[in-house]
Amino acid sequence: TYQMKNETDEVGIVRGLAWTSVGGDTLQIEVNLMPGTGEFLLTGQLGDVMKESAQTGISYIRSIAAEYGIEPEFFQKNDLHIHIPEGAVPKDGPSAGITMATAMISAITGTPVKADVAMTGEITLRGRVLPIGGLKEKLLAAKNARIKKVVVPAQNKPDVEEMSQEITQGLDIAYVDTMSQVLDIALAGKED
């Protein structure tokens, strides 16, 4: 069953698009920030590539933290937990990279994420966005979940242009090359 879009903008929750053996799906990434000792927790049966993708995202965020007025000690004094329901379903791959990073930045800065946006894309340590696979199935899943706006890697534009209009019709697709562009689109209180 598809999980419908959030009703209100929330902090630390971002909708991702996944590609599973049975087609596309949406998954809601949750991040909690807690006073702690700098631990980084990952749950929801994430595979190695996905865990490394989350680690890459947090290092990217640490490297730009000063731009958001966040002290370096912040990351030693708080624990950060990323969880992806459903907890029994194994998940892997790098394509949730920008989704996990957006959820972490939202939690760390306290900025809500727009409820009507979903996204997919690999993140690099320097905040570049790399192309991903299974885009057609992911866009279909977004439509089924009544999502209007989808953030997609710019390098996947040729894949979208090859799709039939049936799939893309009604979807507002934003192409991105950098995490900075992702955040401009997804964080509430930014351009729209």
Q: What residues make contact with a second copy under the rule CB under 8 A?
A: 12-13, 30-38, 41, 43-45, 48-49, 52-53, 55-56, 59-60, 62-63, 72-73, 75-76, 79, 81, 83, 85-88, 93-94, 97, 122, 124-126, 128, 130
Phi and psi angles of residue 99, each rounded to the nearest 5 degrees, phi first: -70, -45
Cβ contacts of residue 81 below 8 Å, gap of 6+? 31, 32, 34, 41, 42, 43
Out of a second copy, Ca ion, none, which partner does residue 184 contact, by CB within 5 to 8 A per kind?
Ca ion
CB of 87 to a second copy, least distance (A): 4
95 is catalytic: yes
Out of Ca ion, a second copy, none, which partner does residue 153 contact, by CB within 5 to 8 A per kind?
none
CB of 37 to a second copy, least distance (A): 7
**List 91, 114, 136, 138, catalytic entry:** 138
3-state per-residue secondary structure call for 48-81:
HHHHHHHHHHHHHHHHHHHHHCCCCCHHHHEEEE
Look up tokens 């696979």; give the residue.
133
**List 91, 95, 136, 143, catalytic entry:** 95
Return the amino acid letter for 170: G
